[in-house]
Amino acid sequence: MTGRAILAMGGIAMLLWMALALFTYFVPPHHLLLLALFLVLFGLATMCTLTPCISIFGSLLLPRLYRAAPGHSLRQSTLLTLVLILNMILKALHSWEPLTGLISLVAAVILEALILARK
């Protein structure tokens, strides 16, 4: 990612986190639609926050790999966001346990390893 894209993504992330904070302050998610809207806002905010972080840390730690695949950080942040949202849904359904969180994280790591091995 270029410096301009990282700054743009960071600005969008700040706006989404402010929207999420205002949403949780003014609207209690008692209905299923409001809970879904919260999860969408949370997912977008998390993805926009993690993408520049993964891109920056990846370019510092693995410069050869991250220059070859610019969408790699977006894919990793999307995968981590989906793991977080899955765990939040399980928590809302009162079905979450630490083992399920660990299993979903390990599944995401294995999926990422398979995607990288395919390339």
Share of the chain above pLDDT 70, in %: 94
Span 15-37, pLDDT tens digits: 999 999 999 999 987 889 999 99
Separation CA 2–CA 39 (nearest Å): 28
Region 90-109 average pLDDT: 92
Separation CA 60–CA 18 (nearest Å): 29
What pTM does this model have? Answer: 0.86
Q: What is the SS3 string spanning 10-57?
A: HHHHHHHHHHHHHHHHHCCCCCHHHHHHHHHHHHHHHHHHHHHHHHHH
Separation CA 24–CA 32 (nearest Å): 14
